Amino acid sequence: MALFALFLTLSAAAQTVGLKAGYTHSHIRVNTGDSILWKESKFVPGFNVGGTLEFARSDHFSLITGIGFTTKGAKGERQQEFNVFTPSPSYAIYYYKLNILNLEIPFQAKLTFNLGDFKLYSALGPYGGLSLVARSLSWYENKFSFPAEHFPGTPLSGEGSLRYNDDIQLLDYGVLGTVGIEHSGISFSASFSYGLANLSDGGLTDDYQIRNRSFEFSVGYRFGE
């Protein structure tokens, strides 16, 4: 409700209103301290869609905000080897999947440069959001082999798994940077979202941290241009 109230307050001062939609390419940064499961994740595809507001406009400067929906998330895996049953090693494969749908409001300062009939622009500022839908799933598989000559009567191979959910924090916030080009009210933009909020509830370890990272590629239209 606070996000909607802020958006309605800012819309009263807006000089232009627009819409945008596009593709989101997101992953997460995982910091696990000394208990390292994985440090990198793979990008996952998604979408972004919403409305934009621009006010305090001049030839080269303006303030922009808006409200919209964007997907974020990641997937990853990492293999760790153990030499418990020497000389035949065993290893664990760790997996992770995260899917989030955020409602976000950015607030950016925008600089515009004229290039003939086109306008190049860049924008930078904070964003705040709420996770409307969030699902996190982690699991691992242990795989091992026993040398028959050392462990007679023991199965030669086997595997096991454990699955558990890790709740995601509701509030997300960070920094949003954007570059783009405009012509006759139509814009093409690319943004990078750098999450600062720790989305983990500490369900794995006390020092377990999850932060969003995402690229957004959007097409927009500003009414009244």
Percentage of residues in the chain with pLDDT exceeding 90? 37
Give the pTM. 0.76
Contact 143, 88 (CB under 8 A): no
Give the mean model confidence (pLDDT) for residues 104-133: 93
What's the domain range around 163? 2-222
Residue 216 CB coordination number (10 Å): 23
Helix, strand, or coil (residue 166) = coil
Name the domain count of the chain: 1
Place of tokens 């795989």: 143
pLDDT tens-digit series, residues 168-213: 788 899 999 999 999 998 999 999 999 999 887 655 555 667 788 9
Task: Quote the pLDDT of residue 158.
Answer: 43
CATH code for position 112: 2.40.160
178 Cβ neighbours under 8 A, 6+ residues apart = 108, 121, 122, 123, 124, 189, 190, 191, 192
